[in-house]
A = this chain, B = another copy of it.
Amino acid sequence: MKFLIALKDKIILILSGGMDSFTLLHHAINQNYQVECLTFDYGQRHIKEIECAISACNDNNLSNLQIKIANVESIFAESALTSNHIEMPHGSYQEESMQATIVPNRNMLFISHAIAYAISKNIKRVWYGAHAGDHFIYPDCRPEFLSAMNSVAQKCHTFPINIEAPFLNFSKAEILKLGLELGLDYSKTWTCYEGKDLACGKCGSCNERLEAFTLNNFIDPLQYSEKN
């Protein structure tokens, strides 16, 4: 006997390959959304995350459109995430030094591409993985940014596009809790900002990830060069 599953809307999902968007992808699939993924190469040191994004799409029989942002050496000149001459700060997201990890206007750039693609495919919804842990340091992950982004996305074309961040008020630990309930394998994600073979365990991003695993009493399956 076969059961018919009622498929929900088509959505464009911005998939980095980090644990937040990886969880968001599986949450969307679990909720029966029809997902198309966009992954951005913006000159990030941690290019490994793109391999994880592609792999996550392959594992779910989804296509993945990779978009390469041009001129990153000019438009993202002052970010430690894209510029090797800027030292990657260690520690927690609450520290002033983490400002160096801001990639200017990254989310508006990603969402702008996603909206164009959505319009071309006649899709009305775009999802991205902003969450509460990002609010302190990254302006373009905050509720007020999302709200303003939605306002402009209602007016940029002949029909409105909705920008949604279902994890906007989730902590990283809560996202991980949801993913673990879904049985996800987080060895298939990449979080570290450094572009090395093993995750550093010391950058803001590694710190936040490791804390989320600790709070869930779960051992991170990823190998680290060292942990704080």
Known: A75-B113, A152-B108. A140 touches B120 (CB 8 A): no
Q: Is the CB of B68 within 8 A of A108?
A: no
- Return chain B residues, CB-CB under 8 Å to A115: 104-105, 108
A68 cross-chain contacts in B, Cβ below 8 A = 70-71
Is the beta-carbon distance between B105 and A156 smaller than 8 angstroms? yes
Which chain B positions have C-beta within 8 A of A65?
71, 74
Residue interface bits A129-170, CB-to-B below 8 A is 1, else 0? 000000000011010110011011011111000000000000
Of the listed residues A65, A70, A121, A142, the one surrounded by the most CB atoms of chain B closer than 10 A to its CB is: A70
In the complex, A158 Cα to B101 Cα: how many Å?
13
Binding site for B on A (CB under 8 A): 65-71, 74-78, 99, 102, 104-109, 112-113, 115-117, 119-121, 139-140, 142, 144-145, 148-149, 151-152, 154-158
